[in-house]
Amino acid sequence: MKPYFYDLHIHSCLSPCGDDDMTVHNILGMAMVKGLELIALTDHNSCKNCPAILKAAEGAPLTVLPGMELCTSEEFHVVCLFPSLKPAMAFDEYVYSHLPKVNNNEAIFGKQQILDEQDQVIAVEPIMLAGASTISVEQLPGLMAQFGGFAFPSHIDKNSFSIVASLGLIPPELGFTCVEVFQPNTFFARPGARLITNGYRVITNSDAHYLGDIAEPERQLELESPDFYGLVKSLRVR
């Protein structure tokens, strides 16, 4: 076991709220400058920039996991990670078929750019990615088993798109073993906060939408290996 610096929740310019500078090379470059060793690309309801970042990361001294920040029908954000591109893109296709077919309004919400590994824009996603899918959080355990992924509720301490803000707790039957707390110092100062996360592995990621927000090398996870299997082995243990 060895400690690795991580950031498992990063948005690219495919997320409408993600800055245009969040290209695959810029994200990789910034993660490497900061000394991160394990990162994940997690755009809203889409994995379509994962092929580019995984290709661009070949030979780089860090591991990039393909992922997505799913917005469930209840408007909970949940980060879903995958061991490789194939299951990630299969999940992407599944989620895409469960998105309301509403066109994105770039002027209001921002661009949704799909890149190649050279940072060239190869397509623009026309369907709005930021809204709720028709997938219920209750479906997630089954979907993660089906697609071979690992999911954890995002930013449970935020006021919006948070399972805890809505329900006040994490229903145990959902089978999550890990939760993301965005600002642990503030959250754990709240009375009762430890009761909410009791029994869960707590991690903190940047949820970066701008390059400068990508995590500093401040937090580490003890892993057997800095990859999906090492990560899941660690985070599945309560």
Residues interacting with Zn ion, by CB under 5 A?
A: 69, 77, 154, 161, 207
**Nearest-CA neighbor of 41 among 62, 65, 21, 61?**
65
The nearest distance, CB 160 to Zn ion, in angstroms, is 8
Q: Nearest-CB residue to Zn ion?
A: 77
- β-strands 63-71, 38-44: how paired? parallel
Closer CB to Zn ion, 37 or 207, in the complex: 207
Shortest separation between residue 214's beta carbon and Zn ion, angstroms: 12
| 21 vs 222, beta carbon nearer Zn ion | 21
φ/ψ (deg, to 5) at 152 = -140, 145
Helices (H) and strands (E) in the chain, counts: 9, 10
* Minimum CB–partner distance for residue 58 and Zn ion (Å): 25
By CB atoms closer than 10 A (0-12, 13-18, 19+), residue 222 is exposed
State which residue, 77 or 234, has the beta carbon closest to Zn ion: 77
User: For residue 205, what are the contacts with CB-CB under 8 A and spacing of at least 6?
Assistant: 6, 7, 8, 9, 10, 79, 180, 215
Minimum CB distance to Zn ion, residue 9 (Å): 6
Q: Which is nearer to Zn ion, 109 or 116 (CB)?
A: 109
